[in-house]
Structure 1
Amino acid sequence: MVQALITFSLKNRMLILLLAVLLFAWGIYSVKRNPIDAIPDLSENQVIVFTEWMGRSPQLIEDQITFPLVSNLQGIPKIKNIRGTSMFGMSFVYIVFEDDVDIYWARTRVLERLNYAQRLLPQGITPSLGPDGTGIGHVFWYHLDAPRLNLGEQRALQDWYIKFALQTVPGVAEVASFGGFEKQYQIVIDPIKLQYYKVSLMDVMKRVQSNNNDVGGRKFEMSDMAYVIRGLGYIKNKDDIENIAVAQYNGIPVRIKDLGSVQMGGDLRLGIFDQNGEGEVVGGIVVMRYGENADNVINSVKEKIKELEKGLPEGVTLKASYDRSGLIEAAIETVKGKLIEEIIVVSLVVLVFLFHWRSALSIILQIPLTIAASFILLNAFGMSSNLMSLTGIALAIGVIVDNGIIMSENSYRQLSEWQNSDNPEKFN
């Protein structure tokens, strides 16, 4: 079989060269399409369901949210495992699918089942899906350098301007905010005054919610003009909250400021974002979408940040805290360096031992052709270019070179014996 293949190749040299050129071109195309990352994605094929019910204990979260969700999501096809985690105010359900399941098909199936499971949850609780990223999707971290703004103002700038802009970058699944203070109105109620005015805390909550709303009316026409009537009721400052009437006591309205005080403050924090031990900062984490090219996503995020900095307040800049592109570029440069080293060493070895430049050229051409063909197989099996796969290719270069040198040396020896033999026919 091998002899027949060699004979066919020698008799059809132009055809074999054409096939080699086509294979190399296909390999170059595969190199450009192959996703590039620093580390291989070994995470499970999973969908995360997140539910928030602030202020509730882990046991209550487990009984009323986690258990109903886990028990009703088990009927989804092609599920490998379901894991649930309950903590203070939050529930996480991890639905692990089979490895060959498309992630977006899986997310659609989970959403269909959540429409039914939500009826079993407490009123007003809505579970949501986590971002369509993986365990290694945190490809870029950044923080704000804003010495003139406090942590609350920095967090507001991050949440209402920077985050929304970066989420429009192709390949970005989510931008998670970190650090600082989330501004909120805080109502501090005096329980003694509640008892004195005979008002419950639930009454205060309902009144604040109902008074923070715009209402629509009708329209009327007058003098060929149409006027829209509406009631503006959204809260704009803490004075609006203080003047909300909760109840009446002996015909006198009882307002929020009669029951306590209203102040601006920050939401409860579970951690901080510290920059090299120099102090607390505000920043964000860019999560890459499933199956995207990490290098392209990071470069697109950097370009978007340059555009955003033009609209930031004076003195505010964005700085990278973690950038995986450096590791990716280092891995690529390592493979390129090894490839050049292999070509130089092979050329020297063949020229020194055989003194034949055509033999050296035939071996050197095998290296880029084989590497290009390797990327065709990487795309076929859905594997990315990472440290593991690129290291394997770099190690395989040595095997390719060894085979080429052995075959060239053997062919050279056979031809030499054929030329110096008295009976050349025995070599046919």
Structure 2
Amino acid sequence: MRAFTDVFIKHPVLAAVANLVILLVGARALYTLPVQQFPSLESSSIVITTVYTGASAETVRGFLTTPIERAVSSVSGVDYVESTSRAGQSTITVRLELGHDSTDALAEVTARLQQVRAELPAEAEPPVVEVQRADRPYGTFYVGFTSTQRDTPALTDWLTRTLQPQLATLPGVQRVTLEGARALAMRVWMDPDQLAARNLSPGDVHAALQRNNYLAAVGQTKGDLVQVNLLADTDLRAVEEFEQLIVAERNGAIVRLSDVARVELGAEEATMVAKYRGQPSVYLGIWPLPGSNEIEVAAHLRREMARIEATLPDDIEMRLVWDGTMFMRDALKEITKTLGETILIVALVVFLFLGSVRTAMVPLVAMPLSLIGAGIVMLAFGFSLNLLTILAIVLAVGLVVDDAIVVVENVERHVRQGKTRIEAALAGARELRGPVLAMTVTLAAVYTPIAFQGGLTGALFLEFAITLAAAVIVSGFVALTLSPVMSSRFVHEHGRQARLTILVNRAFDTIRARYEKLLDAALGMRWAIVVVALLVTLAAWPLYTYSRQELAPVEDQSHISLFLEAAPDATLAAVDRASERVADAVGEFPETDFMWSLTAPWGGFGGMVTKNWLERERSTQEMFGDV
């Protein structure tokens, strides 16, 4: 009876072309896949920040945090809501359920805020809403800048005008933020005695500043040849212009700003202090686009930094303080090395057991073809090359060769029975059509259900399960199309086996004879074997119960994160002094390379970056308790 495998054996070009398409498309798919450390998760949070200058933490909680929380808590897709009320600022974080569309949630949150806007104090600024990745609410890269001559405002101004726009244009970069920056600002220091002497209040000065910070298009004038747009511009720029600003008129006398205040060009009030090795610094945070190849973004950033280094002013020092892809590169390098070692070991074992290089070529060709073919499914599902998908490929190495080995062994058996290689390939492929399909479906069915788990585990292992199942399915197709064709050409004809093949066959005959004797003995004591099997099965329960449980192994990434929480009424100077004491204590560890920190009135966070693994004796886990 004819089978569909006969078509490929009798038309080997068709089999070669079909598998060549899998090879080329799969290779192209793997080349275009983004490279990440872990699978992308639709895990987002919406952060609502409302500023109420001058209000205490209790006032912010009662008049801002409570009504906003009440409004957004009923938004669909919300997992939970957390809030922080500090003096002058309310911060509410709406954590969304895993997989919920952040765009829909953002639109609904914005609509709810409009409904409660009338309940908020008129003096409070409008709420600012932004979406953050819950799995990574910080930038992937931080570039630190220090200067021996410029203060923080001057350094901020230079970075804003020069480097921030340059780095924002790098391929794969979503945005570049300034951390610890202080923008230039005109500072007006009012004199209470002078205000009281002229019967003025700070509100009058504020109103005068608002009146003179106005820009309006009032019309257009035309001539015979040109036309000019008319603007009413009261924008003030220099200190002298602010000093001449008219605040009020008292008894026929004009009161100018210089009469009641001191004006100077300074900087905005500091809301965060950034430090590197204890020195004031300004950080540029680089946020890659979601789904981008972060390792490639890191390469672009390093090349751009090397180009910028040559043009930096002499007083400015630049360094890459934090590279979030450092561990990712090392992990991917190690797992790729493991993949290569696995392929070599499997190739050696296949060769030793088949006893012929020509025969071993059949499964050795099927193995990389199946793994590369899985890249087509990965690209179609929007997956990435990460630790879990590469792990799936490593595990699939031992699975995808099974079908091809079974096919070539069966063809070789028919050849030893006196058939020609073509006849043996036709008969062997027909016999194994059903078993190969059953084996492929069974293996795919074992791993695919992992993708349907709920929660974080299901989201993480979705790509692992589908990639592994895809590799197995492709291996089944290769085993029924290409492997019979290769077997009909590469298997030795009857009577012409290589010496190693003969030795391997004799060894298997000996092993089979001994196995038959052991099997007869085992059947004679079947109840004892059943009891042992039950004991082993029952032992699995206490072993599972007392085993450590964690989502992922704790690994040494040469970094220990530190978080500082301050009282709601703490000042920035007090928190900064506390962070300096922490940095000094951390710097005493011999394993410390440097310490970086970002400090705000509400607290702060930072990182202890240790030396390379080869340059220290203790791991970060061993240091954690002392830190």
TM-score (norm 1): 0.79
Q: Which residue number corresponds to residue 172 of structure 1?
A: 173
Q: Which residue number corresponds to residue 369 of structure 1?
A: 369
Q: Which residue number corresponds to residue 34 of structure 1?
A: 33
- Identical-residue share of aligned pairs (%): 20
Q: Which residue number corresponds to residue 45 of structure 2?
A: 46
Question: 1:381-396 alignment to 2 at 5 Å?
Answer: 381-396=381-396
Q: Which residue number corresponds to residue 202 of structure 1?
A: 203
Question: Deviation at 1:155?
Answer: 0.9
- How far apart, CA to CA, are the structure 1 residues paired with 2:321 and 2:144? 6
* Secondary structure at the counterpart of residue 208 of structure 1: helix
- How far apart, CA to CA, are the structure 1 residues paired with 2:227 and 2:26? 67
- How far apart, CA to CA, are the structure 2 residues paired with 1:108 and 1:407? 57
Q: Which residue number corresponds to residue 292 of structure 2?
A: 292
Question: 1:270-419 alignment to 2 at 5 Å?
Answer: 270-275=271-276, 277=277, 279-302=279-302, 316=316, 318-400=318-400, 403=402, 407=406, 411=410, 414=413, 418=417
- How far apart, CA to CA, are the structure 1 residues paired with 2:59 and 2:112? 22
Are the counterparts in 1 of residues 44 and 135 from structure 2 also a CA contact under 8 Å? no
Are the counterparts in 1 of residues 45 and 132 from structure 2 also a CA contact under 8 Å? no
Q: Which residue number corresponds to residue 85 of structure 1?
A: 83
Q: Which residue number corresponds to residue 63 of structure 2?
A: 64
- How far apart, CA to CA, are the structure 1 residues paired with 2:320 and 2:36? 18
Question: Deviation at 1:410?
Answer: 5.5
- Matched to 2:189, the amino acid is V
* Secondary structure at the counterpart of residue 273 of structure 1: strand
CA RMSD across the alignment: 4.0
Q: 1:323 to 1:92 in 2, by over 3 A?
A: same
Q: Deviations over 1:161-180 (max 9, x none)?
A: 43334334454333221134
Are the counterparts in 2 of residues 169 and 301 from structure 1 also a CA contact under 8 Å? yes
Q: Which residue number corresponds to residue 150 of structure 2?
A: 149
Question: Deviation at 1:356?
Answer: 0.8
Question: Deviation at 1:83?
Answer: 1.3
- How far apart, CA to CA, are the structure 2 residues paired with 1:73 and 1:120? 14
- How far apart, CA to CA, are the structure 2 residues paired with 1:312 and 1:100? 44
Structure 1: runs of 5+ lacking an equivalent: none
Question: Deviation at 1:109?
Answer: 4.3
Q: Deviations over 1:208-258 (max 9, x none)?
A: 222233455555567977565545422222233233232334432333333
Q: Deviations over 1:248-276 (max 9, x none)?
A: 3443233333323233434333443223x
How many residues were matched structurally? Answer: 419
Question: Deviation at 1:191?
Answer: 2.7
Question: Deviation at 1:394?
Answer: 2.5
Question: Deviation at 1:336?
Answer: 3.2
Q: 1:371 to 1:146 in 2, by over 3 A?
A: farther
Structure 2: runs of 5+ lacking an equivalent: 432-627
Are the counterparts in 2 of residues 133 and 288 from structure 1 also a CA contact under 8 Å? no
- How far apart, CA to CA, are the structure 2 residues paired with 1:222 and 1:6? 86
TM-score (norm 2): 0.57
- How far apart, CA to CA, are the structure 2 residues paired with 1:95 and 1:11? 63
Are the counterparts in 1 of residues 95 and 134 from structure 2 also a CA contact under 8 Å? no
Indicate the structure whose relative CO is greater, using CA pairs within 8 Å and at least 6 residues apart. 1
Question: 1:253-272 alignment to 2 at 5 Å?
Answer: 253-272=254-273
Are the counterparts in 1 of residues 342 and 394 from structure 2 also a CA contact under 8 Å? no
Higher mean displacement: 105-114 or 217-226: 217-226
Question: Deviation at 1:327?
Answer: 3.4
Rg larger in 1 or in 2?
2
- How far apart, CA to CA, are the structure 1 residues paired with 2:6 and 2:177? 62
Q: Which residue number corresponds to residue 23 of structure 1?
A: 22
Q: 1:36 to 1:220 in 2, by over 3 A?
A: closer
Are the counterparts in 1 of residues 179 and 282 from structure 2 also a CA contact under 8 Å? yes
Question: Deviation at 1:375?
Answer: 3.2
- Matched to 1:391, the amino acid is L
Are the counterparts in 1 of residues 181 and 282 from structure 2 also a CA contact under 8 Å? yes
Q: Which residue number corresponds to residue 127 of structure 1?
A: 127
Q: Deviations over 1:269-290 (max 9, x none)?
A: 3443223x16222221112233
Question: Deviation at 1:72?
Answer: 3.2
